[in-house]
Chain A
Amino acid sequence: MSGYNLGVEDYTKQNSSKILKKIIFYTIAILVIFLSVYFIIILDTDWHRIGSGEGILKQLSYFVGLDFKIMPYLIKPAFETFLMACLGTMLGLIMSLPVAWLGAKNVTPLGMASFSFARMLMTISRSVHEIIWALIFVGAVGLGALPGILALAFRSVGFISKIISESIEGADKKPIEAIRAAGGSGFDVMYYGIIPQILPTVIGTIIFEWDINIRRSAVMGLVGAGGLGLAFFRQMHMSNYPGVTTVIMFIVGLILIGEVLSHYLRKRII
């Protein structure tokens, strides 16, 4: 309550010290930013290559235009990318069910041990970028669509299982206790008590993840898994810049289709 008894002078003093603190903070922040601009951008860039902006414009002009000749060869990879995203999401869902079961505090079987194990799996899955997952799986199972599917699945496990286990933890306890009191086993509790409650959230999450996975599966080809990423990689290495633009247009189109579909599906379900 002492704040009300402050005089005008005290108040201005307090205010000025606050402003001073703010000024110091912002000066340091701006200094740090300028330092990193200097080191990262000015020192590190090959300005000779860029020239006087003319080089950039010239390079950009290569990308203008579409290569219609490669379009028929892009339909199969586009479909492949789409299927990779679908299968990857599905596999990710299947793998994330046990992880979510272990990672929910109220149903985990071994207490703290299994809970923290599942949380660790989720964190690892989320913090490794999809490109790294794809690299590892290309090393493990070879080239093709399979490492892409596995990488997408492993990457989605973290997000899907985190949402599922959080919704299991937030599920209404009354039906669960009723089933338990009536003599239901652990499976009965799961099947009749928890799953009907969490189903809408889970389906929404899966659609969301599927939408993101389309985006991700378009770059899987850059490190050796198939799909549009491989077509992009090839066009880039052949220096066929209009072809690169065409592939990017295909990717954007595919993602727009996915976005519209997921929007429509989510509206229908929720």
Chain B
Amino acid sequence: MEQIYKRNNAKNFIFLSLFFFIIYLCFLYLGIDFYRFFSALGNFGKLIANRYYPVDIPYALEPGYLASILDSIQMGYLGLIIGVIVASILAYLAAANLTPSKRIGYPIGKFLIIFARSIHETIWTILFVTIVGFGMLAGTMALTMYCIGFFGKLFSEELENVDMKLVDTMRSNGANEMQVFAYGVWPQVKTAFTGILIYTWDVCFRASTIIGFFGAGGMGWYLKRNVLQLEYARTSAIILSIIVLVIFSEALSAYMRDKIYKETQ
């Protein structure tokens, strides 16, 4: 018994020291000073206390800024609507059990969803800003791509869990693709679709608050301006307002999802 305990301890020791050595190598590779690393939290606290602390709340209540919040919200749901329409088609193609053509449609749908998902929303924003110029059109397009990735993945997973018996029965009775979808698949995924839709809206709104930082309009633009002008008090007011709005949207989406799940059960 004692031997096992000892051996285990030695093994653990070797494992731990190897682990710390690897982390040390990583730090060396990334060129991080250990002094800087350990003083980071102190610096963070100092920065918050000295620069960000007297929050300039009146700035966040100015009409220009409030209008930009409205812009962000509108951008969020416009991107959501277009994105969800496209993503539903792509998800139908990318669901392995329902896809109309396994050879062509399935890989295309899967690839497009993964591609839209793997590029971060800020990079989409930068790309669309270079293509269509500054403004909210670029932001809406970026959010559309973001929604395609996010919604498409969740919804195609949901479609893959559909009960296939009903679908097979309908197909063997000669229903066409539209009928199969309308009467066989849709009633099964309706609740999940609404739930995912609301969740996507929540996430999309969260993204829409920040994409203005890279040239799309909305609150992010105000954030960028104040960051560049080193107006710390205003920056902290904007960050605070973003936190409040995100908490509000999160609570709203949780409440609505709860209500829908209760209604259907």
B40 in contact with A150 (CB, 8 Å): yes
Asked if A123 CB lies within 8 Å of chain B CBs, one says yes
- 6 further A-B contacts with Cβ under 8 Å, apart from A45-B133, A140-B44, A146-B30, are A41-B78, A46-B133, A49-B132, A79-B29, A84-B30, A136-B44
- A170-202 Cβ-contact flags toward B at 8 Å (1 or 0): 000000000000000000000000000000000
Stretch at the interface among B97-105, B170-178, B238-246, B256-264: B238-246
A41 in contact with B43 (CB, 8 Å): no
CB distance from B3 to the nearest CB of A (A): 22
B30 in contact with A80 (CB, 8 Å): yes
Residues of B within 8 A of A (CB): 23, 26, 29-32, 36-37, 39-40, 43-44, 46-48, 51-52, 71, 74-75, 77-78, 81, 114-115, 118-120, 122-123, 126-127, 130-137, 140, 206-207, 209-210, 213-214, 217, 223, 227, 239, 242-243, 246-247, 250
Can you name 8 A-B pairs with beta carbons within 8 Å? A40-B136, A41-B137, A44-B137, A127-B243, A132-B239, A140-B43, A141-B40, A236-B126
Chain B positions within 8 Å of A238 at CB level: none
- A151-185 Cβ-contact flags toward B at 8 Å (1 or 0): 00000000000000000000000000000000000
Give the docked Cα–Cα distance between A222 and B213 (Å): 10
Chain B positions within 8 Å of A50 at CB level: 132-133
B120 in contact with A219 (CB, 8 Å): yes
Enumerate the 10 nearest inter-chain pairs by beta-carbon distance, A residue then B residue, closest first. A127-B246, A36-B74, A255-B118, A145-B30, A45-B137, A129-B210, A219-B120, A140-B47, A140-B43, A140-B44
CB distance from A170 to the nearest CB of B (A): 18
Task: Write the chain A residue with the least CB distance to B45.
Answer: A140
- Chain A interface size, as a band, is 35 or more
Chain A positions within 8 Å of B207 at CB level: 129
B32 in contact with A36 (CB, 8 Å): no
B243 in contact with A131 (CB, 8 Å): no
B47 in contact with A139 (CB, 8 Å): yes
CB distance from B140 to the nearest CB of A (A): 6
- A42-53 Cβ-contact flags toward B at 8 Å (1 or 0): 001110011000
Give the docked Cα–Cα distance between A44 and B51 (Å): 34
Task: Write the chain A residue with the least CB distance to B214.
Answer: A222
A146 in contact with B118 (CB, 8 Å): no
Chain B positions within 8 Å of A128 at CB level: 239, 242-243
Chain B positions within 8 Å of A131 at CB level: 122, 210, 213
Give the docked Cα–Cα distance between A244 and B81 (Å): 29
Residues of A within 8 A of B (CB): 33, 36-37, 39-41, 44-46, 49-50, 56, 59-60, 63, 79-80, 83-84, 86-87, 90, 123-124, 127-129, 131-132, 135-137, 139-142, 144-146, 149-150, 215-216, 218-219, 222, 226, 232, 236, 244, 248, 251-252, 255-256, 259
Chain B positions within 8 Å of A63 at CB level: 127
Chain B positions within 8 Å of A84 at CB level: 30
B118 in contact with A41 (CB, 8 Å): no
Give the docked Cα–Cα distance between A40 and B68 (Å): 11
With A83-B26, A251-B118 as contacts: A129 and B209 at CB distance below 8 Å: yes
A49 in contact with B133 (CB, 8 Å): yes
Task: Write the chain A residue with the least CB distance to B39.
Answer: A141
B130 in contact with A145 (CB, 8 Å): no
Q: Out of B32, B123, B243, which one reaches A124, CB within 8 Å?
A: B243
A145 in contact with B120 (CB, 8 Å): no
Give the docked Cα–Cα distance between A87 and B31 (Å): 13
Chain B positions within 8 Å of A123 at CB level: 243, 247, 250
With A44-B135, A45-B135, A123-B247 as contacts: A144 and B78 at CB distance below 8 Å: no
Chain B positions within 8 Å of A41 at CB level: 78, 136-137, 140
Give the docked Cα–Cα distance between A187 and B87 (Å): 49
Chain A positions within 8 Å of B127 at CB level: 63, 244
